[in-house]
């Protein structure tokens, strides 16, 4: 198992040469003083803590897991200290609101730090990620009083955050939740109910845990329009921020899982726990959704992160392990055999991993740029355009990134042969860990329904048209160096547009059609988006002399020659319609 190395060089290449972030930041409202040197210093510090403090915990923490005993959760050895170190570095508040002691860094930078955090130890990384998500929702929707009391402690990491949505019978369909919120005389609410799958819902790393809980007010309308959001702390703080009485929140048990074992996935019981409303009554789901674009992108980043760690191991192993001779004759004649790296099938797997991982890295920074624009863009027109781009790209970022990152990690395991199946080598853990990213924060199927429903059918394909326009403009100005790639991209884009038109008309005839091809459509958009990233990276390569940059044109060629052809299959599936998918009656299953 190789030591995790933060992919700093590639992150810098993308930030600086592909997206020219300095100019971008300086055009944002209130970000004018952000420069690339500051960003670089932050990235280097983050890399250090990820490589030196977090990554060394990852393997053993998986074996130990978090442990539950009588309502308490003990995190694996080293987590508590690492969390302390992490908080002291101020990393919890990196993207937080400066009014409440956050550092106010743009998402374009925060996302890159997040990649290193998740890549070094995803189970640990979930704690700051959930805290950041909860802080985000509080900042966006809570009263000034709640913000002042909670946010500084959450940005400092003294208090951690958790999101409490799912119930035993209600996962995707949150309209079914049963947790109740009873108004109290003092303006607070008594929360009663049970939540499951609550990541880091209980642990020993922070002094307090701030739960954001979905619950129903008495007489709330049925379904998803009757859900409200509440802030429910594990320990009720006094007005001065010191800790008061323990609240009626307890952890009933933790799950035994496939992966991310070091993180506690909790059953949380709320027994008349005191909570405070966040945002408007019955608008809890909307409040959650403002945060979801960030969280879903972060889950996509988790996919890339773990797949990158898997690649680093696989490449190292392929260089060191000798086995059989190259088909072109011995490459290491002084050894008993050549390294795995000479074998074209191994090379194919490593190239695929690189193409997906680095394509994904560019893509998450691209999406983060739109998130920054939506928040800090100079004009309302720009912000609105960015909002639309974020709406289109978020489900793709969550689902496509994690789907191909999973394939990537499976390949990283395959490169190891039998050793890939053995726990000590670390590759199988990456597969187990990464698998959750396709499932949580809305399964990838749900992302696909979001893309095809709200983001495509509901707007008559209008959001995709924005991306298409941008890609066409880029291709037109890209110059001759990689014109064959630009042509291939435009060709794939035309196919995607044709499929989109087909979907718009076929959906009118058959209500089952959109769902039947939703995942394929999402993948189609994903391949085109990654193709756009690879074209930009190939074009940007000449601006840098780094080894990472030098590899980009060859990786881009590979992406276009070997991976993009997947769209041929996707197009045929989309055209084949829903009748075969729905061809069996219910009782035939």
Q: Which of residues 306-345 bind its own copies (CB under 8 A)?
A: 315, 318-319, 322-324, 327-329, 336-337, 341-345
- Binding region for its own copies (CB under 8 A) out of 123-131, 153-161, 370-378, 416-424: 416-424
Q: Does 438 contact its own copies by CB under 8 A?
A: yes
Q: Are 293 and 287 in contact (CB under 8 A)?
A: no
Say how far residue 137 (Cα) sits from the centre of its chain: 17
Q: Does 566 contact its own copies by CB under 8 A?
A: yes
- Contacting residue, 263, 357, 444, 536, with its own copies by CB under 8 A: 444
Q: How many residues bind its own copies (CB under 8 A)?
A: 97
Q: Does 351 contact its own copies by CB under 8 A?
A: yes
Cα 398 from Cα 289, distance rounded (Å): 14
CB of 402 to its own copies, least distance (A): 11
CB of 249 to its own copies, least distance (A): 21
Q: Are 552 and 485 in contact (CB under 8 A)?
A: no
Which among 99, 358, 441, 470 is annotated as catalytic? Answer: 441
Q: Does 234 contact its own copies by CB under 8 A?
A: no
Cα 367 from Cα 390, distance rounded (Å): 7
CB of 230 to its own copies, least distance (A): 22
Q: Which is nearer to its own copies, 206 or 570 (CB)?
A: 570
Contacts to its own copies from residues 503-522, by CB under 8 A: 511-516, 518-519
Q: What are phi and psi of 102, to 5 degrees?
A: -75, 165
- Contacting residue, 382, 439, 466, 478, with its own copies by CB under 8 A: 439
Q: How many CA atoms lie within 13 A of 324 on its CB side?
A: 11
Tell me which residue of 1, 17, 4, 3 sits closest to 361, measured CA to CA. 17
Q: Are 578 and 513 in contact (CB under 8 A)?
A: yes
Q: Which is nearer to its own copies, 307 or 389 (CB)?
A: 307
Say whether 23 is catalytic: no
- The site string for its own copies over 165-204 (x = CB under 8 A, - otherwise) reads -x--xxxxx-xx-------------------xx-------
Cα 112 from Cα 368, distance rounded (Å): 9
Q: Does 491 contact its own copies by CB under 8 A?
A: no
Q: What is the DSSP string of 119-134?
A: HH-HHHHHHHHHHHHH
Q: Does 227 contact its own copies by CB under 8 A?
A: no
Q: Which is nearer to its own copies, 218 or 418 (CB)?
A: 418
- Binding region for its own copies (CB under 8 A) out of 82-90, 230-238, 376-384, 576-584: 576-584
Q: How many CA atoms lie within 13 A of 362 on its CB side?
A: 27
CB of 310 to its own copies, least distance (A): 13
Q: What is the DSSP string of 471-537?
A: HHHHHHHS-STTHHHHHHHHHHHHHHHHHHHHHHHHHHH-TTHHHHHHHHHHHHHHHHHHHHHHHHH
Cα 301 from Cα 357, distance rounded (Å): 10
CA dihedral 296, 301, 306, 308 (to 10 degrees): 160
Q: Which is nearer to its own copies, 277 or 535 (CB)?
A: 535
Cα 470 from Cα 449, distance rounded (Å): 24
What SS3 state is found at 217? coil
Q: Does 158 contact its own copies by CB under 8 A?
A: no
Q: Which is nearer to its own copies, 185 or 588 (CB)?
A: 588
CB of 390 to its own copies, least distance (A): 23
Interior angle at CA 130, CA 128 and CA 131, nearest 5:
60
Q: Does 283 contact its own copies by CB under 8 A?
A: no
- The site string for its own copies over 448-487 (x = CB under 8 A, - otherwise) reads xx--------------------------------------
Q: Does 572 contact its own copies by CB under 8 A?
A: yes
Residues belonging to the active site: 441
């Amino acid at each position: 198992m190789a030591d995790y190395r933060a992919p700093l060089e590639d992150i810098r290449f993308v930030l600086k040469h592909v997206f020219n972030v300095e100019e971008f930041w300086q055009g944002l409202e209130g970000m004018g003083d952000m420069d690339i040197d500051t960003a670089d210093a932050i990235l280097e510090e983050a890399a250090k803590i990820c490589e030196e403090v977090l990554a060394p915990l990852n393997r053993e923490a998986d074996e130990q897991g978090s442990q539950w005993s009588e309502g308490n959760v003990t995190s694996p050895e080293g987590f508590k200290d690492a969390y302390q170190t992490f908080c002291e570095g101020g990393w919890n508040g990196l993207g937080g609101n400066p009014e409440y002691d956050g550092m106010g860094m743009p998402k374009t930078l925060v996302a890159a730090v997040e990649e290193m955090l998740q890549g070094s130890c995803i189970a640990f990384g979930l704690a700051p990620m959930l805290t950041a998500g909860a802080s985000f929702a509080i900042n966006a929707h809570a009263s000034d009083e709640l913000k002042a009391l909670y946010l500084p402690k959450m940005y400092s990491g003294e208090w951690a955050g958790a999101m409490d949505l799912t119930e035993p019978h209600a996962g995707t369909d949150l309209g079914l939740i049963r947790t109740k919120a009873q108004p109290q005389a003092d303006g607070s609410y008594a929360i009663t109910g049970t939540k499951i799958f609550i990541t880091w819902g209980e642990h020993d790393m922070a002094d307090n845990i701030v739960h954001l809980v979905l619950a129903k007010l008495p007489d709330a309308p049925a379904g998803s329009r009757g859900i409200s959001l509440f802030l429910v702390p594990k320990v009720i703080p006094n007005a001065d921020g010191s800790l008061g009485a323990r609240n009626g929140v307890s952890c009933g048990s933790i799950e035994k899982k496939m992966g991310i074992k070091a993180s506690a996935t909790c059953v949380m019981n709320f027994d008349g726990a005191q909570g405070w409303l966040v945002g408007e009554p019955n608008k809890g789901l909307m409040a959650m959704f403002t945060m979801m674009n960030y969280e879903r992108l972060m889950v996509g980043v988790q996919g890339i992160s773990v797949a990158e760690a898997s690649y680093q191991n696989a490449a190292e192993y392929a260089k060191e392990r000798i086995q059989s001779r190259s088909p072109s004759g011995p490459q290491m004649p002084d050894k008993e055999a050549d390294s795995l790296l000479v074998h074209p099938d191994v090379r194919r797997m490593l190239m695929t991993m690189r193409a997906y991982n680095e394509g994904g890295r560019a893509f998450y920074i691209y999406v983060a740029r739109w998130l920054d624009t939506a928040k800090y863009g100079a004009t309302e027109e720009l912000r609105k355009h960015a909002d639309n781009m974020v709406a289109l790209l978020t489900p793709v970022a969550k689902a496509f990134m994690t789907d191909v990152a999973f394939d990537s990690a499976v390949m990283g395991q395959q490169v190891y042969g039998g050793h890939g199946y053995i726990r000590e080598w670390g590759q199988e853990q990456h597969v187990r860990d990464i698998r959750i990213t396709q499932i949580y924060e809305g399964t990838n199927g749900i992302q696909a329904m979001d893309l095809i429903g709200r983001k495509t059918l509901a707007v008559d394909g209008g959001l995709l048209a924005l991306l298409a326009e941008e890609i066409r403009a880029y291709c037109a100005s890209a110059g001759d160096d990689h014109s064959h790639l630009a042509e291939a991209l435009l060709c794939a884009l035309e196919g995607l547009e044709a499929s989109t038109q087909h979907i718009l008309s076929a959906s009118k005839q058959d209500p089952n059609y959109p769902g039947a091809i939703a995942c394929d459509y999402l993948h189609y958009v994903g391949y085109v988006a990654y193709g756009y990233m690879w074209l930009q990276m190939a074009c940007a390569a000449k601006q840098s002399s780094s080894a990472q940059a030098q590899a980009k044109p060859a990786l881009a060629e590979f992406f276009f020659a070997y991976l993009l052809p997947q769209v041929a299959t996707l197009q045929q599936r989309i055209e084949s319609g829903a009748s075969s998918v729905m061809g069996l009656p219910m009782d035939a299953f």
